[in-house]
């Protein structure tokens, strides 16, 4: 539990012996042990050895670092050091406030000075010079401990610091209430039927008060209003960690809380009240009560623990809050308690119930997680002198499946935005609330491909609404471009038959609906020149009467239409086209997970809006051998095709590109022309069979050459008769 014990006393006052006597070694951070880890004992002028004090700054930094790591987990901790000065006390206080700890100071100052000096003489390397001990003793007597630090006599440790059961017999009933998850209506229904917080009853809430439900603000306001009642106990669930992070301005790990719950409650709850509320949350609650003629010992926590027999103070707070083991291990934990705990020891927990288990798991174990936020039940038990009675109240105010799915999607989008922004291989361009995400040139050049960089290829997200507005393809690759697409790797990977589509040689246009209007853009910048060209092409090729049909379709199906934009005059590439064109490529769902609509759906839409659809090649590939033959033909024979290439899709939807020999040849020639313009040597840049073109190029004036390779190729063909 969240308890910190500081020992205070001069050397040889009995601190280490007291730790050993109370079996506290495994919970103790000892300053001298850190010193010995840093340095072996050093010699004194009189020949004695002592623990070196030379590294104390580093030692205390290390000790506090370890202490904070333990406090993050809510572990009971003893700090064995003299603490004769108040120097480090503010740092302890700061950590205690941050991690919600109670601090005690176990006092050894009553041990007489001369007795400590006598004990010190019998030590070996732990001996401390007598003058140092006297100085520390004098300082300890002069410095008064601050009022916030509770002083405890060493013999009072068990009665003061160890957890003691509460007496529940003074109540008529004890109600233990399971996970609430933002469901206030059903909570109020339950309370109205069960004493309405009567002072005659005890009400123990097991935590997880927020997230996923529709009434988070109402639940929080209600709990704050009752948090100071003596008969109300509030325990901490794992979802309350988000409140702690919010209050401490720490990174909030739960993206659901950050993007869904927090906007519902932020600026509507007084932050100081919320801080008081969080500090009220206990890790567990234990008591004894006469039930059915015998005394039962009741243990309540959010996560549930196996039986240990140890005092609760020695159990990590994180284990009470999150439970022990994996999320699905709750039955193993419950069974261990059933098999090892005495029959009069009863445990109640919530948090997890993956098997839709009943409230009563075993005779002495109860599970109060009932999926209340999904339309399940708010679970509780009523305990009184007559017995233990499970109670379940069906929740009628919850997010329907589609609404819950939408919230989960928004939380996932928020999480992904954080991850995209955290990657140095992804570039974000911001246009108000709209951001585009694309992998960087470094990612492309150095093949830094992972789930994020593959996704970030024309991904547009409204970062305020947490919604994917438009998206391009997940990055996919050419055959033999990397280890994923090496030709040999396809032998056992592809599922036949393969479908082959003609790959056009233009630029990618994304069309979706944003703020009720058609949103037309390129992969990176909706405000750039290429986006203007995209809108010009769409305006030219898509007749006005069909634009509404397209807008309605994209809006209703929440998808992006990907098109190839072709503009020979304004955007020439490698392949020659006679006129502007717009070719529909695919329909993609506006979701983070890649989902492409069937080609038949694309074809049907193309007929409705009178736009060209990508060409499905009349090619049958039904085996790896046929695939290899297809690859060999178009990748090696420059006369096989004068198109850019093909997109090949297997029966599972896996895609790979094949660039034709013709396309690759003239793309390399474009590089050759670029070097020639700069006055660089082109000899080593020429592709196979390119010597004739190289000689011809060197007869030309670089400054008078046309800009694009298509026009240069046409001039070359006209002058030499070579139609390559």
What digits encode the pLDDT tens for the residues 337-366?
Answer: 999 999 999 999 999 999 999 999 999 999
pLDDT for res 689: 87
Task: Average the pLDDT over 442-451 and give the result.
Answer: 92
Q: Can you spell out the DSSP letters for 434-478? A: EEEEEE-HHHHHTT--SHHHHH-EEEEEETTTTEEEE--PPP--B
State pLDDT tens for residues 484-516.
678 877 788 889 999 999 999 999 999 999 999
- CA 279 – CA 277 distance, rounded (Å): 5
pLDDT for res 413: 97
State yes or no: pLDDT of 280 exceeds 80. yes
pLDDT for res 49: 73
Question: Which phi and psi angles does 453 have, rounded to 5°?
Answer: -70, -30
Q: Which tokens is 311 given?
A: 């005092």
Strand blocks (E) in 73-215: 77-80, 102-107, 150-153, 166-167, 173-177, 201-205
pLDDT band for 716, please (50, 70, 90 cuts): very high
State yes or no: pLDDT of 157 exceeds 80. yes
b vs e for 611-640, b when ≥16 Cβ sit within 10 Å of the residue's Cβ? bebbeeeeeebeebeebeebbeebbeebee
pLDDT for res 514: 97
pLDDT band for 592, please (50, 70, 90 cuts): very high
State yes or no: pLDDT of 596 exceeds 90. yes
Q: Can you spell out the DSSP letters for 124-143? A: STT---HHHHHHHHHHHHHS
pLDDT for res 55: 81
pTM above threshold 0.85: no
pLDDT for res 490: 78
State pLDDT tens for residues 513-561.
999 999 999 999 999 999 999 999 999 999 999 999 999 999 999 999 9
pLDDT for res 566: 97
Q: Which tokens is 161 given?
A: 């610091």
% of the chain exceeding 70 in pLDDT: 100
State pLDDT tens for residues 413-426.
999 999 999 999 99
Give the number of other Cβ atoms within 10 Å of residue 677's Cβ.
12
pLDDT for res 706: 92
Average pLDDT, the chain: 94
Domains of the chain, residue spans: 3-160, 166-394, 400-470, 505-613, 661-720
State pLDDT tens for residues 58-92.
999 999 999 999 999 999 999 999 999 998 999 99
Q: 3-160: what CATH class?
A: alpha beta
Contact 104, 152 (CB under 8 A): yes
Helix, strand, or coil here: 541?
Answer: helix
State pLDDT tens for residues 607-632.
999 999 999 999 989 999 999 999 99
State yes or no: pLDDT of 127 exceeds 80. no
pLDDT for res 602: 97
Task: Average the pLDDT over 130-155 and give the result.
Answer: 92
pLDDT for res 101: 96
- CA 22 – CA 32 distance, rounded (Å): 19
Task: Average the pLDDT over 386-393 and give the result.
Answer: 98
Question: Which phi and psi angles does 580 have, rounded to 5°?
Answer: -60, 150
- CA 177 – CA 169 distance, rounded (Å): 19
State yes or no: pLDDT of 722 exceeds 90. no
pLDDT for res 392: 98
Contact 3, 160 (CB under 8 A): no
pLDDT band for 187, please (50, 70, 90 cuts): very high
- CA 422 – CA 415 distance, rounded (Å): 11
State yes or no: pLDDT of 42 exceeds 80. no
pLDDT for res 489: 76
Measure Cα distances from 367 to 180, 193, 284, 363 in Å.
14, 21, 15, 12
pLDDT for res 581: 97
- CA 367 – CA 423 distance, rounded (Å): 41
The CATH number corresponding to 166-394 among 3.50.50.60, 3.60.21.10, 3.90.226.10, 3.40.50.300 equals 3.60.21.10
With 0-12 CB in 10 A as exposed, 13-18 as middle and 19+ as buried, what is 693? Answer: buried
Helix, strand, or coil here: 275?
Answer: helix
139-147 long-range contacts (CB < 8 A, ≥24 apart) are 139/84, 139/85, 140/8, 140/9, 140/10, 140/82, 140/84, 140/109, 141/109, 143/84, 143/85, 143/86, 145/8, 145/86, 145/89, 145/105, 146/86, 146/89, 146/93
State pLDDT tens for residues 113-124.
999 999 988 887
Same fold, 166-394 and 505-613: no
Task: Average the pLDDT over 568-579 and give the result.
Answer: 96
Q: 505-613: what CATH class?
A: alpha beta
Task: Average the pLDDT over 264-270 and give the result.
Answer: 94
pLDDT for res 493: 84
- Of the candidates 351, 304, 374, the one whose C-alpha atom is nearest the C-alpha of residue 332 is 304
pLDDT band for 40, please (50, 70, 90 cuts): confident
């Amino acid at each position: 539990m969240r308890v910190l014990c500081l020992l205070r006393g001069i050397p040889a006052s009995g601190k280490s012996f007291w730790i050993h006597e109370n079996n506290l070694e495994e919970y103790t951070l000892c300053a001298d042990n850190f010193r010995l880890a840093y340095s072996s004992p050093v010699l004194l002028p009189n020949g004695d050895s002592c623990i070196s004090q030379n590294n104390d700054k580093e030692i205390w930094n290390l000790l506090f670092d370890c202490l904070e790591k333990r406090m993050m987990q809510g572990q009971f901790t003893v700090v064995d050091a003299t603490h004769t000065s108040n120097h480090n006390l503010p740092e302890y206080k700061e950590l205690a406030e941050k991690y919600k700890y109670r601090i005690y100071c176990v006092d050894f100052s009553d041990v007489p000075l001369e007795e400590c000096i006598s004990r010190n003489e019998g030590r070996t390397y732990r001996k401390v010079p007598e003058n140092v001990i006297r100085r520390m003793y004098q300082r300890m007597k002069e410095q008064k401990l601050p009022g916030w630090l509770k002083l405890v006599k060493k013999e009072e440790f068990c009665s003061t610091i160890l957890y003691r059961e509460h007496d529940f017999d003074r109540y008529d009933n004890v109600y233990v209430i399971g996970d609430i998850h933002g469901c206030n209506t059903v909570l109020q229904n339950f309370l109205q039927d069960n004493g309405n917080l009567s002072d005659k009853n005890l009400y123990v809430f097991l935590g997880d008060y927020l997230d996923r439900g529709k009434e988070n603000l109402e639940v929080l306001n209600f709990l704050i209003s009752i948090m100071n009642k003596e008969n109300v106990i509030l325990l901490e669930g794992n979802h309350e960690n988000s409140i702690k992070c919010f209050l401490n301005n720490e990174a909030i790990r739960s993206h659901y809380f950050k993007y869904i719950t927090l906007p519902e409650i932020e600026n509507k709850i007084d932050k100081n009240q919320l801080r008081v509320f969080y500090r009220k949350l206990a890790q567990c609650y234990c008591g004894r009560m006469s039930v059915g003629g015998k005394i039962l010992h009741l243990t309540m926590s959010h996560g549930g623990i196996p039986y240990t027999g140890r005092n609760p103070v020695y159990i990590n707070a994180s284990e009470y809050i999150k439970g022990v083991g994996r999320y699905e291990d709750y039955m193993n934990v419950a069974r261990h308690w059933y098999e090892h705990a005495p029959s009069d020891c009863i445990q109640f927990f919530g948090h997890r119930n993956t098997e839709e288990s009943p409230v009563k798991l075993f005779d002495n174990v109860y599970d109060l997680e009932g999926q209340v936020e999904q339309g399940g039940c708010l679970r509780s038990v009523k305990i009184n002198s007559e017995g233990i009675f499970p109670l379940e109240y069906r929740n009628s105010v919850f997010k329907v499946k589609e609404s819950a799915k939408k919230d989960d999607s928004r939380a996932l989008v928020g999480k992904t935005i954080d991850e995209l922004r955290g990657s140095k291989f992804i570039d974000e361009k911001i246009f108000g609330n709209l951001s585009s995400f694309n992998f960087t040139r470094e990612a492309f050049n150095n093949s830094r491909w992972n789930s994020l960089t593959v996704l970030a290829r024309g991904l547009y997200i409204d970062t305020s609404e947490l919604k994917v507005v438009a998206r391009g393809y997940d990055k996919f690759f050419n055959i033999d471009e990397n280890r994923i697409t090496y030709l040999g790797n396809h032998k056992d990977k592809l599922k036949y038959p393969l479908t082959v589509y003609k790959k056009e040689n233009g630029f990618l246009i994304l069309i979706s609906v944003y703020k009720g209007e058609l949103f037309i853009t390129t992969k990176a910048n909706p405000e750039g020149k290429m986006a203007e060209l995209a809108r010009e092409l769409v305006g030219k090729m898509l007749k006005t009467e069909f634009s509404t049909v397209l807008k309605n379709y994209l809006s209703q199906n929440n998808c992006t239409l990907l098109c190839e934009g072709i503009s020979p005059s304004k955007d020439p590439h490698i392949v020659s086209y006679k006129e502007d064109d717009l070719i529909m490529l695919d329909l993609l769902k506006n979701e983070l997970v890649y989902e492409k609509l069937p080609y038949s759906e694309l074809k049907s839409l193309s007929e409705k809006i009178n736009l060209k659809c990508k060409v499905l090649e009349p090619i049958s590939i039904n085996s790896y051998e046929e695939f290899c033959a297809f690859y060999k033909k178009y990748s090696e024979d420059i006369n096989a095709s004068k198109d850019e290439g093909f997109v090949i899709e297997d029966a599972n939807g896996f895609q790979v590109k094949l660039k034709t020999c013709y396309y690759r040849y003239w793309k390399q020639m474009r590089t050759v022309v670029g070097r020639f313009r700069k006055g660089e040597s082109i000899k080593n840049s020429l592709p196979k069979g390119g010597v004739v073109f190289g000689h011809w190029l060197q007869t030309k004036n670089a400054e008078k050459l046309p800009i694009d390779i298509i026009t240069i190729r046409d001039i070359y063909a006209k002058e030499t008769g070579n139609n390559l």
